[in-house]
């Protein structure tokens, strides 16, 4: 399922209109028909909010330096407004629109991923909204510097939670990243692939945790059984290389259980079993081999098989 802004963020973002447009065009928070009297009140309040602010051109025409200066002015105005009011929402949404270029810049770093760019931008916009809500002018930090880690972190969290072929715990997802980073550093240091023990010592974890993290890494991507091999690969599709089911394995357990029982049989009974089931001789041929009648061979063989069956039953 493609990510989408939640209802509150969507309503706030899509209800924003540039300040240079008429305040009476501003819809209500949920895009519901606004009574004329209420619309006039909202327009008056918004006019008061915008009073003293420079006129803001269309957002896609605002230069980065101008957007930074306008954002600072709007943040100063935002601090003087009460959260939850139309005035607060209007200024906040204007800040979102002014700084969408930050989201697009951050999203461009992930253009090689398989997810649609539209989805990445929407996720990054959520990070931008969070950054606006947390930003404080008193910190003395420029807003782009403060917002970019939050935007990128939100996008990375999205990929971490949705791009795995098989769902694994977040602990193992983060461990995979730590192992990859530590593995690259140790490989450069030793000029070879690091061992499990070296990775465990570097990360301060046990060998079992390293092995668990390596196993979890296999769940990140999955290949189709029908995927065609590379041009220089002489083997066929993966499905053609999967082993077949060996029905002979089903009898191994019984053979191992029969070995001690057969060892306890008299030599003649073991000989009859060997001639019958290993040499595939008939009862008549066995009788000629041992110098006894076919009927006698049949009785001995039946008695031996009954004894072995009872022995298997007791073992179970």
Domain ranges for the chain: 7-162, 166-222, 251-315
- pLDDT-based confidence at 32, cuts 50/70/90? very low
Burial of 87 (0-12, 13-18, 19+ CB in 10 A): buried
In this structure, what token pair is assigned to residue 99? 């700084």
pLDDT band at 113 (very low <50, low <70, confident <90, very high): confident
- Statement: residue 307 has pLDDT above 50: yes
Measuring CA to CA, which residue among 3, 21, 1 is closest to residue 93?
A: 21
**What pLDDT is attached to residue 213?**
84
Residue 256, judged by CB atoms within 10 A of its CB (0-12, 13-18, 19+), counts as: exposed
Residue 53's pLDDT is what?
55
Q: Average pLDDT, stretch 65-76? A: 82
CATH number of 7-162: 1.20.120
pLDDT of amino acid 295 = 92
Q: What is the pLDDT of residue 130?
A: 92
Residue 129 pLDDT exceeds 90: yes
CB 24 within 8 A of CB 47: no
CA dihedral in degrees (15, 20, 23, 28; nearest 10)? Answer: 0
In whole angstroms, give the CA distance from residue 256 to residue 254. 5
For residue 161, what pLDDT is reported? 66
- What integer pLDDT is reported at residue 173 of this predicted model? 73
| Residue 168: both structure tokens together | 């694994």
What pLDDT is stored for residue 127 in this prediction?
92
Answer whether residue 163 shows pLDDT above 50. yes
Q: What is the pLDDT of residue 229?
A: 57
Per-residue DSSP letter, 60: G
Among candidate residues 215, 217, 211, the one with its CA nearest the CA of residue 180: 217
Averaged confidence pLDDT in the chain: 75
Name the CA radius of gyration of the chain, rounded: 38
Do domains 7-162 and 251-315 share one topology? The answer is no
Q: How confident is the model at residue 39 (pLDDT cuts 50, 70, 90)?
A: very low
C-alpha dist (Å) from residue 130 to 79, 147, 207, 287:
16, 9, 39, 91
Has residue 11 got a pLDDT over 50? no
Query: Which residue is listed with tokens 């519901």?
Result: 32
Mean pLDDT calculated for residue range 66-76: 83
Rounded Cα distance between 95 and 97, Å, is 5
Class of domain 251-315: mainly alpha
Instruction: Count CB atoms within 10 A of the CB of residue 132.
Output: 22
**Most confident among 3-12, 58-67, 192-201 (mean pLDDT):** 192-201
Task: Classify 166-222 by CATH class.
Answer: mainly alpha
pLDDT band at 166 (very low <50, low <70, confident <90, very high): low
Residue 86 tokens, joined: 């139309």
pLDDT tens for residues 219-244? 666 566 566 555 555 555 556 666 66
Q: Has residue 218 got a pLDDT over 60?
A: yes
Q: What are 249-306's pLDDT values in tens digits?
A: 767 777 788 888 888 889 899 899 889 888 889 999 998 988 899 999 999 999 998 9
Answer with the residue of higher pLDDT: 112 or 8.
112
Grade residue 23 by pLDDT with cuts at 50, 70 and 90: very low
Q: Characterize 5-23 residue by residue with b for buried, 16 or more Cβ atoms within 10 angstroms of its Cβ, and e for exposed.
A: beeebebbbebbbebeeeb
Percent of the chain with pLDDT over 70: 66
Residue 125, pLDDT > 90, answer yes
Tell me what pLDDT residue 42 has: 45
Q: Which residue has the higher pLDDT, 56 or 157?
A: 157
Can you give the pLDDT at residue 61? 59
């Amino acid at each position: 399922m493609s990510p989408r802004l939640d209802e509150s963020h969507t309503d706030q973002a899509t209800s924003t209109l540039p300040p240079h447009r008429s305040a009476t065009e501003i819809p209500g928070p949920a895009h519901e028909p606004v009574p004329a009297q209420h619309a006039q009140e909202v327009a008056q309040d918004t006019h008061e909010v915008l009073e003293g602010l420079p006129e803001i051109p269309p957002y896609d025409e605002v230069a980065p330096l101008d957007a930074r200066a306008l954002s600072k002015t709007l943040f100063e105005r935002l601090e003087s407004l009460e959260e939850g009011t139309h005035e607060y929402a209007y200024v906040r949404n204007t800040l979102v629109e002014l700084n969408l270029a930050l989201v697009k810049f951050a999203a461009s770093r992930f253009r090689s991923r398989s997810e649609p760019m539209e989805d990445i931008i929407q996720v990054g916009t959520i990070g931008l909204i969070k950054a606006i809500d947390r930003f404080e002018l008193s910190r003395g930090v420029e807003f782009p510097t403060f917002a970019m880690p939050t935007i990128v972190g939100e996008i990375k969290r999205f990929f971490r939670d949705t791009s795995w072929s098989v769902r694994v715990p977040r602990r193992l997802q983060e461990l995979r990243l730590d192992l990859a980073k530590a593995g690259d550093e140790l490989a450069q240091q030793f000029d070879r692939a690091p061992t499990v023990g070296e990775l465990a010592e570097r990360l301060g974890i046990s060998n079992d945790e390293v092995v668990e993290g390596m196993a979890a890494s296999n769940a990140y991507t999955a290949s189709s059984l029908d995927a065609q091999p590379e041009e220089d690969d002489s083997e066929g599709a993966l499905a053609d290389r999967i082993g077949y089911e060996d029905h002979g394995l089903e009898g191994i357990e019984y053979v191992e259980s029969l070995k001690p029982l057969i060892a306890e049989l008299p030599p003649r009974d073991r000989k009859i079993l060997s001639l019958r089931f290993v040499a595939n001789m008939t009862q008549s041929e066995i009788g000629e081999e041992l110098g006894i009648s076919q009927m006698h061979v049949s009785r001995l063989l039946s008695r031996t098989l009954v004894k072995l069956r009872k022995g298997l039953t007791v073992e179970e």
